[in-house]
Amino acid sequence: MVPPVTVVPPSPPSLEVLPAVEEVPPSPPSKKLSSSSPSPEVTTHAVAMMAAVPINIVHCSTR
């Protein structure tokens, strides 16, 4: 009976992983901006990634 209890917690963490993804992208872009300023493409890719994450979450919530 104890093993099943441990299986229950893993499901909530999976939901927390989605929000965590949003916080992860913002940090790399900031470092790339300072290290590689002459590469605007990196910033656009970072923005696309950040924009895609929230959109996916919205679609999941609407469903």
Cα separation, 40 vs 2, in Å, equals 53
Return the pLDDT at 14: 45
Residue numbers in the chain where pLDDT is lower than 50: 3-17, 19-27, 29-36, 59
Q: Residue 18: give the domain boundaries.
A: 2-62
pLDDT at 9: 46
The pLDDT score that the predictor gives to residue 4 is 46
Q: Report long-range pairs for 46-55 (Cβ below 8 Å, ≥24 apart).
A: 49/25, 50/22, 50/25, 50/26, 53/21, 53/22, 53/25, 54/22
The count of structural domains within the chain is 1
Residue 46, pLDDT score: 60
Global pTM value: 0.18
**Rounded-to-integer distance, Cα 35 and Cα 39, Å:** 10
Whether residue 17 contacts residue 56, with contact meaning beta carbons closer than 8 Å, is answered with no
